[in-house]
Amino acid sequence: MTAQTIVRVNLEIFTVKKEVIENRGLLLGGRSLTSCIVSGEVPPSAHPLSPENTLVISPSLLAGTSAPNVNRLSIGAKSPLTGLIKESNLGGTVPFHLAKLGIAALVLERQPKEGWFYLYVNPRGVEILPAEQYLGLWNYELVERLQRKYGPEVGIISIGPAGEQLLSAATIAGTNLEGMPSRHAGRGGLGAVMGSKRVKAIVVDSQGMDAITYADREAFQRSAKAFARKLIEKSQNTTKYGNLVLVNIINALGGLPTYNFRQGSNDFAEKLSGEYAADILPGRGGRMGHACSPGCVIRCSNIFHDAKGRYITSGLEYETVAMLGSNLGIKSLDEVAPLDRACDEIGLDTIEMGNALAVLAEAGKLEFGDSKAALALIEEVGKGTLLGRILGSGAAVTAKVFGVSRVAVCKGQGLPAYDPRALKGNGVTYATSPMGADHTAGNCLPGRGKPNPHSPEGQVEHSRDNQVRAAALDSTICLYVGHSALKEVAPLLEARYGLPVSEQDLLRLGRETLQRELAFNQLAGAPQVNDLPKFFRDEELPPNALRFDIPLEALQNLFE
């Protein structure tokens, strides 16, 4: 079996240190490992942009294997946006490469006094190289140049101008299977932490490494195949319509943010939907059913071409379409796609930018529905203007600067694309998750045996359960396999590492991860619960006249 190592790059004294993980039985990988290292090594009161913060990059525990949907990359640090511990994950090819290199975590420590660098991670080690020639580049051009140098097969994570400017909405981009920087560790401003380390990009190249080994290859293959079949079966709609399938579903539920959370549904959602995308894209040379990472069988991603057949963006996701589309009154995918591309280029969280632009609309500085103006505003961040810096600092800062009180943030973070009045479990998650108002930290979509999302009944339990499961999934596999899939994940881990692993073990891993994160946040001086902005409790959400009505006390008791 390839030795599993933690590779530490100290960017103050330019050293690279390897630690060998001797006992994989601890099941630390992905989020469980990033949160373990961040909570154990970063002083909770450290400023997120100071040398004391640490950026931890860890592939999921099953990355690199032949199981389906396992190539996920967790990135963790103390967040400049929330001031809390953060993990944000993405697909693409980098986790696959890191896993093949036997790297369980790449840890960026400290920061240089000057200069900019990029890392070349390859079978011989980690090279720290000068990056001055890449400064200011947007992600697509940056990646293209690096691919020219290192070949098309490498995986790359990188920051755009937003991360260079240390802005709190900055992402870390990762290349997808086509080598496009369209996957993002989007939430919490981790791109600014990478920027504070003065690392513009990390090129990961596993060429020449042997394939991953297994404690029990046959058992692994058997479990993997059965699991893949099941996923393919149950994901048919997602494969067909991408995760954009959610547009019509959440619109019908009355929870689709529209006009800065003034409505939960609208009459233009159809043109933003996955069904519509599936209609138009094939004729344009784009496609649905796109896999962003090796071995993905759900294929929720897409490749979006415009009406003239030109590539615009890839992985146009529900969150983006809701927050940069319907919530801004922007009414078609053709208008949203360039906004997504601009965010991918500049390295910006589409959810945070959607909320920040909605704040500008409240301030009378943007008309709802004006996608051209929205694009120009996003590009301000890329240009490094003052307005760009403000927007790139996120919705809460934008609201302060423009004196706007209607701002959908919780724990400093813009709300994702599920109005918490119509999806009350999500509201519970926003208020209580150590991750802030995050769409992946315990999303409570309705389903068989699940609480009615309009009712307060059962939401606290539903959120808690999904928060635990999400923490375990974020350590092992793509969240899209579903919160209930831990029982299928357990035998894969067992066959991979030769250790007894049950669903219960994974639930314990999820709980322990959450506990670590909550403890860090407490030491950082943060309250465990932040109530949602008051307007969610006061204003009735059309069309179902819903309010967020989970008692604060119930939120406070969630983790007790």
Closest CA to 4 of 78, 75, 59, 82: 59
Shorter beta-carbon distance to its own copies: residue 434 or 533: 533
Phi-psi region for residue 541, left (φ > 0), alpha (ψ -120 to 50) or beta? Answer: beta
CB of 395 to its own copies, least distance (A): 12
Residue 559 binds to its own copies (criterion: CB under 8 A): no
Shorter beta-carbon distance to its own copies: residue 449 or 525: 525
Residue 534 binds to its own copies (criterion: CB under 8 A): yes
Structure token digits, residue 17: 């240190």
Indicate if the alpha-carbon torsion angle 126, 130, 133, 137 is positive or negative.
positive
Q: Are 493 and 447 in contact (CB under 8 A)?
A: no
Question: Of 158-217, which residues contact its own copies (CB under 8 A)?
Answer: 165-168, 192, 195-196
Shorter beta-carbon distance to its own copies: residue 335 or 362: 362
Alpha-carbon distance values, 429 to 461, 467, 529 (Å)? 10, 7, 10
From the list 209, 219, 373, 387, which residue makes contact with its own copies (rule: CB under 8 A)?
A: 387
Residue 49 binds to its own copies (criterion: CB under 8 A): yes
CB of 309 to its own copies, least distance (A): 39
Angle, CA 195 vertex, CA 337 and CA 54 arms, to 5°? 115
CB of 537 to its own copies, least distance (A): 8
Residue 138 per-residue DSSP state: -
CB of 380 to its own copies, least distance (A): 10
Shorter beta-carbon distance to its own copies: residue 405 or 452: 405
Shorter beta-carbon distance to its own copies: residue 41 or 52: 52
Residue 309 binds to its own copies (criterion: CB under 8 A): no
Structure token digits, residue 161: 């101008």
Angle, CA 362 vertex, CA 360 and CA 364 arms, to 5°? 75
Cα-based torsion angle of the residue sequence 196, 201, 202, 204 in order, rounded to the nearest 10 degrees: 170
Angle, CA 296 vertex, CA 295 and CA 299 arms, to 5°? 150
| Cβ atoms within 10 Å of 312's Cβ, excluding its own | 18
Cβ neighbours of residue 409 closer than 8 Å, sequence gap 6 or more: 355, 394, 395, 396, 399, 415, 437, 533
CB of 513 to its own copies, least distance (A): 23
* Number of residues near its own copies (by CB under 8 A): 41
CB of 161 to its own copies, least distance (A): 12
From the list 103, 397, 445, 509, which residue makes contact with its own copies (rule: CB under 8 A)?
A: 397
Tell me how far apart the alpha carbons of residues 413 and 407 are, in angstroms, rounded to a whole number. Answer: 10
From the list 405, 455, 484, 504, which residue makes contact with its own copies (rule: CB under 8 A)?
A: 405
| Lookup result for tokens 């800062």 | 397
CB of 390 to its own copies, least distance (A): 6
CB of 473 to its own copies, least distance (A): 29
Tell me how far apart the alpha carbons of residues 512 and 505 are, in angstroms, rounded to a whole number. Answer: 10
Residue 229 binds to its own copies (criterion: CB under 8 A): no
From the list 295, 342, 530, 558, which residue makes contact with its own copies (rule: CB under 8 A)?
A: 530
Residue 144 binds to its own copies (criterion: CB under 8 A): no
From the list 40, 43, 125, 447, which residue makes contact with its own copies (rule: CB under 8 A)?
A: 43
Residue 449 binds to its own copies (criterion: CB under 8 A): no
From the list 29, 80, 92, 329, which residue makes contact with its own copies (rule: CB under 8 A)?
A: 80
Q: Which residues of the shown chain bind its own copies in the complex (CB under 8 A)?
A: 43, 45-50, 52, 80, 165-168, 192, 195-196, 386-387, 389-390, 393-394, 397, 400-407, 525-527, 529-531, 533-535, 537
